[in-house]
Copies of this chain bind each other. A is one copy, B any other.
Amino acid sequence: MKPIGPVNALYPMPTTIVGVTVNGKPNFLAVAHVGILNHGTPQYLSIGLGKVHYSNAGIHENRTFSICMPSEDLMVETDYCGIVTGKKTDKSALFDVFYGELKTAPMIRECPVNMELRLHDILDFKTHEIFIGELVQTHADDSVMTGGKIDIAKLRPLLFDMASVKYWRLGPAVGNCWNAGKSLKK
């Protein structure tokens, strides 16, 4: 064990596509620097966006955004959303877009799960804005549901790791939470 400098090792993270209305049009960007803040209702989630991004102004203006969960099948489109900027490229036609309760949080029919969020707060860091959203509604495709719940094995999320600069697949389940450790009790 040795010190390697302040290297962020909190990976993999789920790769998401964030949907925003900017200048009256839907725009999408790939975001894997996300967070689960609390656990409960209302549920708060965070996305960290560099201030250089085109989408930030749209969240400030409309105070809404979506977090869409692409499956592995959408890797090429997701990555594309991360390498071209809405400043120069219109990404609104890339997907079949739909809206839910919030009228300015564009979501993606090709993503099996989509969440719409109302802006709760913004944390202002030097180079990044952290947008904290209150989850308003989740939209899921029947194809990824099992027994009324989202089935992550069917969703097949795209996982992001910064060190390898790669997307990774989810492997199999290996144990039960709040259970596997019982053998160590007493």
Contacts and interface: CB of A to CB of B under 8 A. Distances in A.
Contacts of A2: 139-140, 142
Contacts of A35: 33-37, 46, 48
Interface in A22-54: 32-46, 48, 50
A170 B167 contact: no
A51 B127 CA distance: 30
Q: Oligomeric state, in number of copies?
A: 2
Interface string A106-146: 00010001110000000101111010100111111110010
B169 A168 contact: no
B43 A6 contact: yes
Contacts of A32: 36
B44 A125 contact: yes
A94 B179 CA distance: 17
A168 B171 contact: yes
